[in-house]
Chain A
């Protein structure tokens, strides 16, 4: 039992090492071929964005609706429904929005990317690209990698907007809380830190989805079975790493916020 857990831990550490080296390789390639990859990146952004927008909008609306119902249940016990808008918006921007959108991105675009690259690997398309004098990292990986990271930020904006609209709508229909009432408490809970935190988390999750899925797809071996394994592993590791990163970024952001607040209020002497 202990041995199995230890083996699993080693496997995860090994994957993290491989993915880190892969990210460095992507950055190195991108730096050397900025102008060449730019049109390919734009093409991928339009593909990835278009592929995920509908799903993100639908999910964003219902996530907003679900949160309103849950918060209303709790707040009504303390007669504090006036705080519904603030709490709901803050939770959506800080935590739920980036998390749900990254999970959706992993499921939709991440799995697609891993399967596409994996198939290209086992059918020798990647070798053919190399033999025709093109660097596959430059032609295939960098555009997909950058597009996924950029799209995770763009989709966050759209998802949050629709989520907040959805929660306002449900609050108004189910609990008779009008839009003005709902928005009144928003500034109490949602500040620059919430928005920065949400964007930062979304950026980190975007990097995780992009790196794990392109890495797994690019390093596929073993025919159709290998593609299946690559897609499954990319889904498992993406979700696992996002959850790890969520705890880490939450802790980091909170510590940074405390430090910065103490610094500006004169609590810490430099």
Chain B
């Protein structure tokens, strides 16, 4: 279980997280939504010790992350795999070496087997293994980065805007993949996103952050009924038809 207890974090004079408290239940998919700069990614980074809160506690299972020294954080990072906004693959390594990066303590045979397993889970074939990241598409790089994250077998998967800069079809495919992985691997997932549509499709619960505070936290149905204008804006954006369809409808009504 993941617990955030009264977390405060600021950068200079800007308060990013202002007393944030919530719990992520084992096995659920929790979406963290909010506008840019509202502390969504900061929340995830606090969880794996890439950032430390000024006060409060971040707990993952038996660990209090913000009280751990750098060498002890590796224990938390073994159980919390993080997929970054950029694929963040090492360009000098092949895709195989990238996926096997977190398996340095494994034997070569076992690591190879695990890499192939993970590749299958993210629907990529072996032909990309000997290529380097710049030689494959951005969508494929995202999948390789997900494979790299799941390879060591984490219990928690953290996705930081996993669909940024992807076309709608690949976005859908990645969202389906998040749902599929969460169910197949029986992991708890935390997804940071701007995409309410996708959250409504795959989230068990949604948390909305605004001005460093929790604006709403609940199931999809509860969020849909929430009166806050920001949430209603997100909802209307998610439910409105794509721009070109809306334009076509307008034209037909005029004619």
Q: B-contacting residues of A (Cβ < 8 Å)?
A: 120, 123-125, 127-134
One digit per residue, 1 when the CB lies within 8 angstroms of any chain A CB and 0 when it does not, for chain B 70-89 equals 00001001101110111011
Tell me which of B80, B86, B88, B148 has the highest count of chain A C-beta atoms within 10 A of its own C-beta. Answer: B88
Q: Is the CB of B50 within 8 A of A131?
A: yes
Q: Of all chain A residues, which has the CB nearest B70?
A: A135
Q: How many Å lie between the Cα of A129 and that of B84 in the bound state?
A: 11
Q: CB-CB < 8 A to A133: which residues of B?
A: 74, 77-78, 102, 104, 152
Q: Is the CB of B86 within 8 A of A134?
A: no
Tell me which of A120, A127, A132, A134 has the highest count of chain B C-beta atoms within 10 A of its own C-beta. Answer: A132
Q: How many Å lie between the Cα of A123 and that of B102 in the bound state?
A: 19
Q: Which of A123, A125, A131 is the one whose CB lies under 8 Å from B82? A: A131
Q: Is B208 an interface residue (CB 8 A)?
A: no
Q: Is the CB of B89 within 8 A of A132?
A: no
Q: CB-CB < 8 A to B84: which residues of A?
A: 124, 127-128
Q: CB-CB < 8 A to A131: which residues of B?
A: 48, 50, 77, 80-82
Tell me which of A130, A133, A134 has the highest count of chain B C-beta atoms within 10 A of its own C-beta. Answer: A133
Q: Of all chain A residues, which has the CB nearest B90?
A: A125
Q: How many Å lie between the Cα of A133 and that of B75 in the bound state?
A: 8
Q: Is the CB of A134 within 8 A of B50?
A: no
**Chain B contact residue count (CB 8 A cutoff):** 21
For the A-B complex, the count of residue pairs with Cβ-Cβ distances under 8 Å equals 45
Q: Is the CB of B50 within 8 A of A130?
A: yes
Known interface pairs A123-B86, A132-B152; 18 further A-B residue pairs with C-beta atoms within 8 A, sorted by A's residue number: A120-B90, A124-B88, A125-B89, A127-B45, A127-B82, A127-B84, A128-B82, A128-B148, A129-B90, A129-B101, A130-B50, A131-B81, A132-B77, A132-B101, A133-B74, A133-B77, A133-B78, A133-B102
Q: Is the CB of B81 within 8 A of A134?
A: no
Least Cβ distance of B75 to chain A in Å? 9
A-B contact pairs, 24 of them (CB 8 A): A123-B86, A124-B84, A124-B85, A124-B86, A124-B88, A125-B90, A127-B45, A127-B82, A128-B84, A128-B145, A128-B148, A129-B90, A129-B101, A130-B50, A130-B77, A131-B50, A131-B80, A131-B81, A132-B101, A132-B152, A133-B74, A133-B77, A133-B152, A134-B104
Q: Of all chain B residues, which has the CB nearest A127?
A: B50
Least Cβ distance of A143 to chain B in Å? 12
Q: Is the CB of B102 within 8 A of A127?
A: no
Q: How many Å lie between the Cα of A221 and that of B219 in the bound state?
A: 37
Describe A's contact surface by its main secondary structure: helix
Q: CB-CB < 8 A to A124: which residues of B?
A: 84-86, 88
Q: CB-CB < 8 A to B152: which residues of A?
A: 132-133
Q: How many Å lie between the Cα of A134 and that of B86 in the bound state?
A: 19
Q: How many Å lie between the Cα of A124 and that of B142 in the bound state?
A: 13
Least Cβ distance of B166 to chain A in Å? 16
Within 8 A of A (CB), among B62-112: 74, 77-78, 80-82, 84-86, 88-90, 101-102, 104
Q: CB-CB < 8 A to A123: which residues of B?
A: 86, 88
Q: How many Å lie between the Cα of A120 and that of B81 in the bound state?
A: 19
One digit per residue, 1 when the CB lies within 8 angstroms of any chain A CB and 0 when it does not, for chain B 195-227 equals 000000000000000000000000000000000
Q: How many Å lie between the Cα of A215 and that of B43 in the bound state?
A: 27
Q: A123-B88, A125-B90, A127-B88 are in contact. Are A134 and B82 (CB under 8 A)?
A: no
Q: Is the CB of A132 within 8 A of B86?
A: no
Q: CB-CB < 8 A to A130: which residues of B?
A: 50, 77
Q: Is the CB of A125 within 8 A of B88?
A: yes
Tell me which of A127, A128, A129, A130 has the highest count of chain B C-beta atoms within 10 A of its own C-beta. Answer: A128
Least Cβ distance of A218 to chain B in Å? 15
Q: CB-CB < 8 A to A132: which residues of B?
A: 77, 101-102, 148, 152
Least Cβ distance of A147 to chain B in Å? 14
Q: CB-CB < 8 A to A125: which residues of B?
A: 86, 88-90
Least Cβ distance of B70 to chain A in Å? 8
Within 8 A of A (CB), among B141-185: 145, 148, 152
Q: How many Å lie between the Cα of A95 and that of B80 in the bound state?
A: 54
Q: How many Å lie between the Cα of A239 and that of B89 in the bound state?
A: 32
